[in-house]
Structure formats: C-alpha cells, structure tokens
C-alpha cells in the first residue's frame, strides 16, 4: 500500500518550525488549550481574530505574555 501526502499536508509540515511545534506541545501539556490554538493559527499564517472573539484573544495574549525577567525566574524555579 502506497501513501502519498497531499500538497496541503506538505505545506502544513513546512509551515511550523520545530521550535514553534515545541511551544504548541508545551502549551497543550500545561493544559492551555486555547493558547495552543492561537499558536497553531499564528504558525500557519491565519489571523486568530477571525476564529475567536476579540476579548478572548486579548485575554489569552495578556495571560501568556511574559517579561524576560519572569520567564527566566520561572525556569529557575523548576
């Protein structure tokens, strides 16, 4: 049995870098499913505002924005 990926699947695989993929997996592992959806939409060049309400998007951005000092402190705590 031969399987050939469609061109759409090939485009999808080239659209998300390994680093972006790791951020998405990290969000899912942390239970932040809405944020993972935003990341996926951004990675494949879709505007998240077209798919989720503005208030929800703004809240997700606010909750997931990290200052450089906060990110390094959180990693040090782990």
Residue-wise pLDDT tens digits, 35-76: 999 999 999 999 999 999 999 999 999 999 975 544 444 444
Q: Which of 68, 66, 15 is nearest to 43 (CA)?
A: 15
Mean pLDDT of 21-36: 96
Separation between Cα atoms, residue 22 and residue 56, nearest integer Å: 23
Instruction: Enter the pTM of the model.
Output: 0.66
Quick one: average pLDDT of 1-23?
69
Distance in angstroms (rounded) separating the CA atoms of residues 52 and 29: 21
16: left (phi over 0), alpha (psi -120 to 50) or beta: beta
Dihedral (CA of 46, 22, 20, 54) sign: positive
């Amino acid at each position: 049995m031969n399987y050939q990926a469609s061109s759409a699947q090939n485009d999808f695989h080239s659209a998300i870098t390994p680093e972006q993929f790791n951020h998405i997996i990290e969000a899912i592992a942390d239970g932040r499913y809405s944020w993972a959806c935003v990341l996926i939409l951004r990675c494949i060049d879709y505007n998240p505002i077209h798919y989720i309400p503005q208030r929800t998007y703004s809240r997700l951005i606010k909750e997931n924005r990290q200052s450089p000092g906060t990110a390094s402190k959180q990693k040090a705590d782990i």
